[in-house]
């Protein structure tokens, strides 16, 4: 079945450092890929998404590129802020036409803490 | 526009008790979902619904039941609570399933402890 694997956390960085959170997936066909963020005490919010190979999703300074050849969707940010401290989830949705479209498969989440 | 709301925020149950977690969305979304989030784990799908009157099992449905009598509401019922159901429960909704890139909007969660 479909699966998503994220790098082990937690990740601790100083403000303005470069961030990479690795995400790889296993799925048939061409799934859509997502990054969700969960701030303390809140539900998940969509951060960015990509729907086909070589697409780049971006939002709030975060970027991730859909790499079909390496089945990866790594999250990057050039300069993190204290306000970026949160849990980050990589997720996939199967391609349309299947019976399970719309259902997300999540990675285990990566806790990011940014210190001033 | 409140989005997705969930009640209660916190609950402690004794083994064998039952309860209903409430979820309401005001975005007129057809699709609704229930997930559970265990510590250090990603979210796992319990049940989902593609519209009023239509529900289906997700990855971990055992011990839970759902109903969808209206577009807005999607309650999750726990019968005979067990310690293994201690978790944080999230409800989510999306506009439509066939448009596979549709964003899922999440509620703030219900933290349930079964003792």
DSSP string, B10-59: EEEE-TT--EEEEEEESS--SEEEEEEE-TTS-EEEEEEEEETTEEEE-S
Q: What residues of A are in contact with residue B27 (Cβ under 8 Å)?
A: none
Say yes or no to pLDDT of B92 above 90: yes
Answer yes or no: are the C-beta atoms of A103 and A96 closer than 8 Å.
Answer: no
Say how far apart CA A50 and CA A34 lie, in whole Å. 7
Say yes or no to pLDDT of A49 above 60: yes
Provide the greatest CA pair distance for chain A: 47
What pLDDT shows up at residue A97?
54
Best residue in B45, B88, B100, B110 to probe A by mutation, most A CBs within 10 Å?
A: B100
Determine, for residues B94 and A102 on separate chains, whether the beta-carbon distance falls below 8 Å. yes
What tokens were used for A69?
């050849």
Say yes or no to pLDDT of B98 above 70: no
Confidence of residue A98 (pLDDT cuts 50, 70, 90): low
Residue B17, min C-alpha distance to chain A (Å): 26
Determine, for residues A43 and B98 on separate chains, whether the beta-carbon distance falls below 8 Å. no
Determine, for residues B108 and A42 on separate chains, whether the beta-carbon distance falls below 8 Å. yes
């Amino acid at each position: 079945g479909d699966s998503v694997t994220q790098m082990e956390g937690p990740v601790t960085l100083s403000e303005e450092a470069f961030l990479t959170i690795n995400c790889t997936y296993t799925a048939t066909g061409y799934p859509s890929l997502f990054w969700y963020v969960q701030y303390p005490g809140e539900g998940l919010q969509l951060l960015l998404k990509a729907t086909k190979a070589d697409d780049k999703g971006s939002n709030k300074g975060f970027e991730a590129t859909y790499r079909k050849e390496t089945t990866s969707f790594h999250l990057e940010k050039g300069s993190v802020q204290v306000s970026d401290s949160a849990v980050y989830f990589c997720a996939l949705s199967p391609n349309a036409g299947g019976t399970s479209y719309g259902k997300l498969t999540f990675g285990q989440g990566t806790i990011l803490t940014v210190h001033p | 526009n409140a989005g997705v709301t969930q009640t209660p925020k916190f609950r402690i149950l004794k083994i064998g008790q039952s309860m209903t977690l409430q979820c309401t969305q005001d975005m007129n979304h057809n699709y609704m979902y229930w997930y559970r989030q265990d510590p250090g784990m990603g979210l796992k799908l319990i049940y989902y619904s593609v519209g009023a009157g239509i529900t289906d099992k997700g990855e971990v449905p055992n011990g839970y039941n759902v109903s969808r009598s209206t577009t807005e509401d999607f309650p999750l019922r726990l019968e005979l609570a067990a310690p293994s159901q201690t978790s944080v429960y999230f409800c989510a909704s999306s506009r439509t399933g066939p448009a596979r890139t549709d964003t899922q909007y999440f509620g703030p969660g219900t933290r349930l402890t079964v003792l």
